[in-house]
Amino acid sequence: MSFLSPFIFVMLHALLQSGTDSSVYPQKYFNPPLDIPLLLAGNFGEPRAGHFHAGLDIQTKQVEGLPVYAAADGYVSRINVSSVGYGNALYVTHPNGYVTVYGHLKEFTPALMKRLRSGQYAKKSFAVDIELKPGEFQVKQGEQIAYSGSTGSSGGPHLHFEIRDAQENPINPLLFGFKIVDATRPLVSDVKFYPMDYLKYNCDGYRCKLSGKNGQFEVPGGTIKLNSTSVGVALNTYDLMDKSENRLGVYSLKMYKDGQLVYEYKMDKISFKDSRYVLSQIDYPVFINEDEQMFHRCYVEPGNKCPVYSNLVNRGIIDLSDGVVHDIKIEAGDFFGNISTVKFKVQYDSKSSLLKENKTSYVKRFDYNQPNEFWDRDIRLSLPADCLFDTLYFNYSGALSTNAEVYSKEHLLSDVNTCFFDWFGISIKADKLTERLKDKAVIVFKDARGNEFSRGGTFEDGFVKTKAREFGLCYIKVDTIPPVIAPVNIYAGKNMRKSKTILFKISDDLSGIRSFNTYLDGEWVVTDYDAKSSTLIYYLDNTMKPGEHRFKVVAEDERRNASEYVVKFMM
């Protein structure tokens, strides 16, 4: 099998960048990776927690173990196994430069499983990222390479499928001509208005329910009068597909002001470096706190540099300062041309009270396009340029803690709903730490539900320092408690001859599991790890010699507290 020269790779990449019409992409080159009808549980560009979805989630009838096939000729170029993310994943590189990705797999075919295990034993690690050479595992289109599953961060059985270009940028697989029957329009339910004048940083916006049917929707009551001279609009919308109950992301959005196109969004391609801009594309606090409601902004925040927008006029912001009534039309579309249309009128009215001002104080202004710092005796923040999506009026308060487990003041960084594109530095003064506890200290944040999570940290010059991507309540705690290792299906002296696996649960109370190792009769062995259920899974070999055997689990948390569990069993 011959593969393209570097020159042709460059030419291909240039061609791919020249447009997003499906005619640019080879049609019928790739076959579906499953031999069942393509029904989607998730689509390309769909908003997810912290990222745009990079592929298609293909339904597998809610079961695991369906055969997964290579979408085209090529070679297996990468085997990646992790307890999170894509779980068990395969990457196949094709002669035309594209790469297909198959994620959340239950297991690979025997030859690939053998290659995986050899790599895991070589590194003495469950999690591995193995790069293969072109001639090592060649595959033909339609050749089975794996079985579908639900490994990694999957919420249920399905196959995650991607097509990437030669630079590893994911492309919408539907551009390659996969046949899916879909005549269902996107659903729309609400519009939300955000002031862009002096109220911008002191108002939560105004929501309005939509009414309508058959793809035509409007705002009840006629003209919406708003007490802001300019506004941004967001549309609460998601897509539906025939024979699927899953809520999917819309493919495109267009907004017109008085007949002029002023905003367009289309999800054909997204690089991983741009994926976090999803926090700006949707009203992310609403998404996180209200059952993943997708309020898509039909305007672009100043710090949002995602290249999925076009035809922008004033970044999509609607100028109402002239006081006249303006006609707004928004079209939400799916990949197959089904469109739902929303129409309404909007006008500036200084007497309106729909946009309510929140009287809030602040201690410092953070500009989104330059570095920002905040220093107090007990806390220091350092935000790089372009860390924020928009200017932030930052508020802060600190108080002594009444919790004996807290080793600093409790610091409230607000607004807790602030979204960050990048990490920022945070240092908290650690007055109460003894020398013995300095390497056990972590900076802890408490979320809106009261759950604590660690951002780690290192002690330096009287402060614990780390990086974070959230505001809210934060403080220093120490982790001196080792992980808990609990057997699930084994106990001392148990005969495991009829068992297929040995199962353990491992958990940690604060800093999180850093590593684990398992040993059978003194030799290191591969044990799979399901992070969702915190379960270690060792697959027993029925050819093991009869008699007594010894199994040991060692787990270490991020602060290097370690636990060990040893059990003897019979075969």
Say yes or no: 247 and 130 in one domain: no
pLDDT, residue 337, reads 97
Secondary structure class of 167 (helix, strand, coil): coil
| Same domain for 376 and 330 | no
Kindly report the CA angle at 25 between 24 and 27, in degrees rounded to 5? Answer: 120
Instruction: Judge whether 251 and 338 are in contact, CB under 8 Å.
Output: no
d(CA 133, CA 136): 5
Q: What pLDDT is stored for residue 244 in this prediction? A: 86
pLDDT surpasses 60 at 10: no
What is the pLDDT at residue 448? Answer: 79
Domain ranges, residue 273: 187-348
The answer to whether residue 559 is domain-embedded is yes
Residue 357 resides in a domain: no
Pair (472, 488) in one structural domain: no
- Asked if 387 and 432 sit in the same domain, the reply is yes
Residue 549 has pLDDT above 60, yes or no: yes
Confirm whether 358 is domain-assigned: no
pLDDT of residue 23: 65
- 15 has pLDDT over 60: no
Q: Is residue 564 part of a domain?
A: yes
Assess whether 469 and 503 both reside in one domain.
Answer: no
Is 181 inside a domain boundary?
A: no
| Span 73-86, pLDDT tens digits | 999 999 999 999 99
pLDDT above 70 coverage of the chain, percent: 96
Strands 56-59 and 158-164: antiparallel
Indicate the helix (H) or strand (E) that contains 286.
helix 284-289
Rounded to whole angstroms, the maximal C-alpha distance in the chain is 88
pLDDT of residue 431: 86
The residue-averaged pLDDT of 394-402 equals 96
3-class secondary structure per residue, 176-214: HCCCCCCCCCCEEEEEEEEECCCCCCCCCCEEEECEEEC
Determine the pLDDT at residue 21.
58
Same domain, 285 and 418: no
CATH (domain of 58): 2.70.70.10
pLDDT tens digits, 324-349: 999 999 999 999 999 999 999 999 99
| 491 and 444 co-located in one domain | no
Nearest Cα neighbor of 283 from 191, 386, 394, 396 is: 191
Kindly state whether residues 22 and 141 are assigned to the same domain: yes
DSSP state of 275: G
Domain termination site, one of 412, 444, 478: 478
pLDDT score, position 26: 96
In a domain, 1, yes or no: no
pLDDT tens sequence across 418-456: 999 999 999 999 988 999 999 999 999 998 788 999 999
Residue 110 sits at φ, ψ, to 5 deg, of -50, -45
**In-domain check, residue 354:** no
User: What is the tally of structural domains in the chain?
Assistant: 4
Using the 3D structure, point to which of 176, 199, 226 is the last residue of a domain: 176
Averaged pLDDT for residues 76-97 = 97
Residues 380 and 473 in one domain: yes
229 shares its domain with 260: yes
Length of the chain in terms of residues written: 571
Same domain, 275 and 252: yes
Model pLDDT for residues 364-375, shown as the tens digit of each residue: 999 999 999 999
Report pLDDT digits (tens) over 354-366: 999 998 889 999 9
Give the contacts of 246 (CB within 8 A, at least 6 positions apart): 40, 41, 42, 240
Residue 488 and residue 474 share a domain: no
Q: Does residue 492 sit within a domain?
A: yes
* The pLDDT of residue 259 is above 60: yes
Of 337, 305, 314, 316, the C-alpha closest to 264 is: 316
Domain limit, last residue, from 318, 348, 378:
348
